Amino acid sequence: MTNPLRKSLTSAMYFYCNLDAAMETAVETDIENAVEDDLAVQPDDATGVGNQMRYNFKEPLQVGGQAVVEGVMMRAPQQVAVAVRKLDGSIKTHIEPFKSVLETHQWLRIPVVRGAVGLLEMMYLGIKMMNWSANETLADYGARRKEKTDAGITCSMIASIAVGVMFFFILPMWIATAFVGDAGSAALFNLVSGVIRALLFLGYLTGISQLDDVRRMFQYHGSEHKSIYAFEQHRPLTVNEAMKFTTLHPRCGTSFLLVVMTVSVFAFSFLDMVIVEKFGHINLVMRVLFHLPFIPLVGGLSYEVIKVAARYSESAIGKVLVAPGLWLQRITTREPDEEQLEVALASLTAALGTNRHG
């Protein structure tokens, strides 16, 4: 294992950009009534991950997660769990009750709004669990960071958003202005800006994927996907079963960000035309000021697009919509080893445990 502080920092860099939890735990996974009997989760003698609980798959259930420092976070409807691999080889699991505001405030569940709210909610939760996992890794080396309060986590979330906006929103617009100018076509400007944004994103992911610590986290990312696949396909939650599945998943946050970039080209082109119609002209400052408030709307629209794409991922249109994201996941996921898959399964079974059985 490499220096834990460096691991924490590089993992946080990836989190700023990927927003993996924000998408994978926000989009509903609708488990069909395909199994007449409950599916038992069998113990795995080789891993010790399995338990004797029996889960009822006759009801729709939402599950999702993200990779954290030396581990995986998983979220089920009533609680969230995070499991990490300790230096001594053991797995430590942390469970917290969780109830989404989308469940307690039905008016927030209207299309588009639910996506924006869910993304912010899951980003907050993701940062909180990332901080816990980083502390556990540091503790193995006799160090410990100060636990963040709710206010501290909120500040981290705001800082994460600010970094993302500066690098992937304002910078592409500034570069596009240099190429197209203020008087150019709104569609052309936003197309150029979108291409630049995508190239920056691809370059960023490719660059950090060369770091050993990030490659290891990408393996945990792959283990998260395999575990969720096993659950969705009603398979026993064991290492041997989960290892059979691919690391590429249509509900991945990486896929979501590509959809955001595509939707933003159309949404901001329309917005720019409205601005020109209203004010007679447009420049970079006006674009930034008017586009910024619409980012949550674009995120909400993108949520609806990928939600539909995931539901119909086996159809021709669905396959076209998810294909770019699956391709990009060849960078952001890696084939995990058995020990990493153990951790993901431990997190998943912990998240499922209480909420399905009182």
**Long-range contacts for 132-136 (Cβ within 8 Å, ≥24 apart)?**
132/68, 132/82, 132/94, 133/68, 133/69, 133/70, 133/71, 133/73, 133/82, 133/84, 134/4, 134/7, 134/8, 134/11, 134/12, 134/68, 134/69, 136/69, 136/70, 136/71, 136/84, 136/86, 136/92
Rounded to whole angstroms, how far apart are CA atoms 259 and 263?
A: 6
Helices (H), the chain: 4-18, 20-24, 101-104, 113-139, 150-165, 171-180, 186-208, 212-232, 239-242, 253-279, 284-291, 295-311, 316-332, 338-353
Q: pLDDT tens for residues 18-76?
A: 455 555 544 443 333 333 333 333 334 333 344 333 344 444 456 888 899 899 999 88
User: Is this prediction's pTM over 0.85?
Assistant: no
Q: What is the CA radius of gyration of the chain?
A: 21
pLDDT band at 78 (very low <50, low <70, confident <90, very high): confident
Q: Using N-to-C axis directions, what is the helix angle for 186-208 and 171-180, rounded to 10°? A: 130
pLDDT digits (tens, 9 = 90+) for 12-27: 444 444 455 555 544 4
The pLDDT-based confidence of 288 (bands split at 50, 70, 90) is very high
Hey, what are 354's tokens? 């209480």
Query: DSSP string covering 116-144, please?
Result: HHHHHHHHHHHHHHHHHHHHHHHHTTT--
Cα-based distances in Å from 332 to 18, 197, 206, 249:
9, 17, 9, 11
